[in-house]
């Protein structure tokens, strides 16, 4: 296994209620089972891009990856086959402790396996979960950071003219009054035909969140993401049934999506608490593409809508997340149109955004030859 560190700036910082994201640093992970000269499967490429708050720190990620041994270094390993060695290595990375490190290696191994089979990553992932053939395109939302109402309207209008019909807007960084005014201005500017999502990144207490759903209900949000702190599942469950008016004036409740709560409490706790209408699945935070798709399947079975997104990953992990989303039948718009937020990237994007959707690379593996030459 080889690691190559990278550091990529954002074109402009993504302003959220938990501060600005202005740079993404991580590691490309290459596995080359043929490095020892035996006839062996294809090489594979992965990416580990930690984001504290969602994953381990960069140094914990690096330490975990450098501690992994995938090669034949004597002992019992000399007798084991490649697949056993790979499974052993992967099982030493705890998805709860070092999800980004596990993502990096799991993706590299899954890419190698898919290449070996001559199939795309999404079709291998779908097969592993007993799902039908994956989609060829995935609908995506535009991602708009915090800003004043004029900036929000300008960004929303340019996203809509670029073909997006679903916008996700960060809230919770300013007063509720200011956020309500911004979202009203955006709704007025884009009309009723565009789906709006708002993401508070855990900014509000219960009282503010309740007031927020009351005042936002007339704007017909597709959902409000993480209104309350990650730990507060009971609060989120109560918010789902909060009244949004009285009698004939009542608007339908605002659907609640949870994101940070998954890393803090786990998917099972979120589903058991009845805390979410939708869950935001970040493969980097969940410990790998395989685990993200398994989570999507479990959420669906519980009647909760899965949405796949990233931690603003570089192109390798973004393409992997596109494959995960493609394997979810009829997936809702996903947060995968973030390539343009990066100043530069590790390679040309094999999943370009067009008309509010991204193309799913046909393979083999992650993206055929698109990443040849990496790391």
Ligand X SMILES: O=C(O)CCC(=O)c1ccccc1C(=O)O
Query: Is residue 330 a contact partner of residue 121, using CB atoms and an 8 Å limit?
Result: no
Any binding-site annotation on 259?
Answer: yes
If one counts every other C-beta atom within 10 angstroms of the C-beta of residue 53, the result is: 17
Tell which one of 56, 111, 259, 277 touches Mg ion (CB under 5 A): 259
At 33, is the secondary structure helix, strand, or coil? helix
Q: Does 311 bind ligand X (CB under 6 A)?
A: yes
Q: Which does 312 bind (CB under 5 to 8 A by kind): Mg ion, ligand X, none?
A: ligand X
Tell which one of 70, 113, 120, 143 touches ligand X (CB under 6 A): 143
Tell which one of 138, 271, 309, 356 touches ligand X (CB under 6 A): 309
Catalytic residue among 24, 170, 187, 210: 170
> Does the annotation mark 243 as catalytic?
no
Report the residue number, 260 or 290, with the smaller CB distance to ligand X: 260
Q: Does 259 bind ligand X (CB under 6 A)?
A: yes
Q: Does 146 bind Mg ion (CB under 5 A)?
A: no
Residues from 218 through 257 that contact ligand X (CB under 6 A): none
Catalytic residue among 282, 291, 318, 323: 282
Any binding-site annotation on 87?
Answer: no
Report the residue number, 114 or 317, with the smaller CB distance to ligand X: 317
* C-alpha distance from residue 243 to each of 230, 274, 276, 312 (Å): 22, 17, 16, 35
Spatial distance between the Cα atoms of 297 and 100, rounded to a whole number of angstroms: 21
Angle at 69 between CA 67 and CA 73, to 5 degrees: 130
Spatial distance between the Cα atoms of 257 and 201, rounded to a whole number of angstroms: 11
Any binding-site annotation on 225?
Answer: yes
Q: Of 190, 159, 185, 189, which Cα lies nearest the Cα of 171? A: 185
Q: How far is the CB of 70 from Mg ion (least distance, A)?
A: 33
Residues from 320 through 339 that contact ligand X (CB under 6 A): 335, 338
Q: Of 110, 124, 103, 113, which Cα lies nearest the Cα of 42? A: 113
Measure the N-to-C terminal CA separation of the chain; round to a whole number of Å: 11
The binding site for ligand X (CB under 6 A) comprises 21, 51, 141, 143, 168, 199, 201, 259, 280, 309, 311-312, 335, 338
């Amino acid at each position: 296994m080889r690691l190559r560190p990278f550091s990529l700036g954002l074109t402009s910082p993504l302003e959220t209620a938990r501060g600005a994201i202005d740079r993404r640093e991580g590691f490309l992970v290459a596995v080359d089972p043929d490095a020892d000269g035996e006839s062996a499967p294809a090489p594979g490429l992965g990416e580990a891009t930690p984001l504290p708050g969602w994953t381990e720190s960069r140094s914990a990620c690096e330490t975990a990856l450098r501690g992994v041994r995938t090669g034949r270094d004597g002992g019992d390993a000399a007798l084991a086959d490649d697949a056993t060695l790979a499974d052993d290595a992967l099982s030493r990375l705890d998805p709860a402790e070092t999800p980004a490190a596990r993502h990096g290696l799991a993706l590299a191994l899954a890419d190698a396996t898919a290449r070996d089979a001559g199939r795309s990553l999404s079709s291998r992932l779908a097969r592993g979960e007993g799902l039908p053939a994956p989609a060829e395109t995935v609908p995506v939302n535009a991602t708009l950071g915090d800003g004043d109402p004029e900036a929000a309207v300008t960004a929303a209008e340019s996203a809509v003219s670029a073909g997006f019909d679903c916008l996700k807007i960060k809230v919770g960084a300013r007063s509720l009054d200011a956020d309500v005014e911004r979202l009203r201005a955006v709704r007025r500017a884009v009309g009723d035909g565009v789906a709006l999502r708002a993401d508070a990144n855990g900014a509000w207490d219960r009282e503010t969140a309740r007031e927020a759903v009351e005042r936002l209900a007339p704007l017909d949000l597709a959902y409000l993401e993480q209104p309350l702190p990650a730990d507060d599942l009971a609060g989120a469950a109560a918010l789902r049934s909060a009244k949004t008016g009285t009698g004939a004036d009542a608007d339908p409740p605002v659907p609640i999506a949870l994101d940070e709560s998954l890393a803090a409490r786990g998917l099972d706790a979120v589903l058991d608490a009845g805390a979410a209408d939708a869950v935001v699945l970040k493969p980097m935070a969940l410990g790998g593409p395989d685990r993200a798709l398994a989570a999507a399947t479990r959420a669906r079975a519980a009647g909760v809508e899965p949405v796949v997104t990233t931690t603003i990953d570089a192109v390798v992990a973004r393409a992997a997340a596109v494959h995960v989303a493609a394997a979810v039948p009829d997936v809702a718009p996903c947060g995968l149109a973030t390539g343009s937020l990066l100043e530069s990237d590790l390679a040309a994007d094999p999943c370009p955004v067009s008309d509010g959707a991204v193309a799913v690379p046909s393979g083999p593996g992650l993206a055929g030859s698109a990443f040849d030459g990496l790391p």
